[in-house]
Amino acid sequence: MRIFSSGRNAMSNVETLTKSDYYEIITFLKALEKKHSFPEVKLQCALKNLYPESLINNPCDAVVNSFGLGWDGLLLASPWAVKNGGIVLSNKWSLGHLNKNKLSSILNSPKVNDFIQTADNNFGHCKIFAYTNHCNNRSTNKMLDNSDPLYVD
């Protein structure tokens, strides 16, 4: 699991791991899996791009295969799109309130369609990290920048 600065962890000063840190940890866990047949190592979407040769689809699954759900019934484009106090990062990540709208209405909305249509714009980059670390000040959609620090060289 990649360390996200979101939710209750949003205010912590956790040191960011490097590519080599992640490679070392994953290699260790895969060796345990090979030796003992467990734990089964499945990489979180935000780490799959460390092994791009094995990728067919964009590993970022925000909206395409996963959502978040806020405490108030707010459907989020990603489960990681929250800041301290469980508040949505920005309205860009908010898809609609399930206590006010049918799920089918939200899923058929232009906003969800836009997420799906632009999902591959920054292939391999985590959209949460791209949003929080964007470097393109001219960008109108920070989550689509190629600015995930783990994959920016």
* Pair 149, 131: CB distance under 8 Å: no
The secondary structure of residue 118, as a DSSP letter, is: H
Confidence of residue 138 (pLDDT cuts 50, 70, 90): low
Reported as a single tens digit per residue, the pLDDT across 81-103 is 988 778 898 899 999 999 999 99
The total of other beta-carbon atoms located within 10 Å of residue 33's CB is: 14
pLDDT score for 83: 84
C-alpha distances in angstroms, 135 versus 8, 31, 76? 25, 37, 23
Predicted confidence band of residue 35 (pLDDT cuts 50, 70, 90) = very high
Q: Does a cis peptide bond (omega within 30 degrees of 0) precede residue 149?
A: no
Give CA separation, 90 vs 81, 120, 146, in Å: 8, 21, 19
Residue 114's pLDDT is 94
d(CA 18, CA 24): 10
What is the arithmetic mean of pLDDT over 15-34? 92
Type and span of the H or E element at 33? helix 19-36
**pLDDT tens-place string over residues 97-122:** 999 999 999 999 999 999 999 999 99
Handedness of CA 144, 88, 67, 30 (dihedral sign): positive
Average confidence (pLDDT) over 73-83: 92
Give the C-alpha separation, 145 to 78, whole Å.
16
The answer to whether the CB of 86 falls within 8 A of the CB of 92 is no
- Average pLDDT score, the chain: 88
Supply the pTM of this predicted model.
0.81
Q: 137 pLDDT exceeds 70?
A: no
End-to-end CA distance of the chain: 21
Identify the pLDDT of residue 15.
74
Residue 11 clears pLDDT 70, i.e. is over it: no
At position 95, the amino acid (one-letter code) is: L
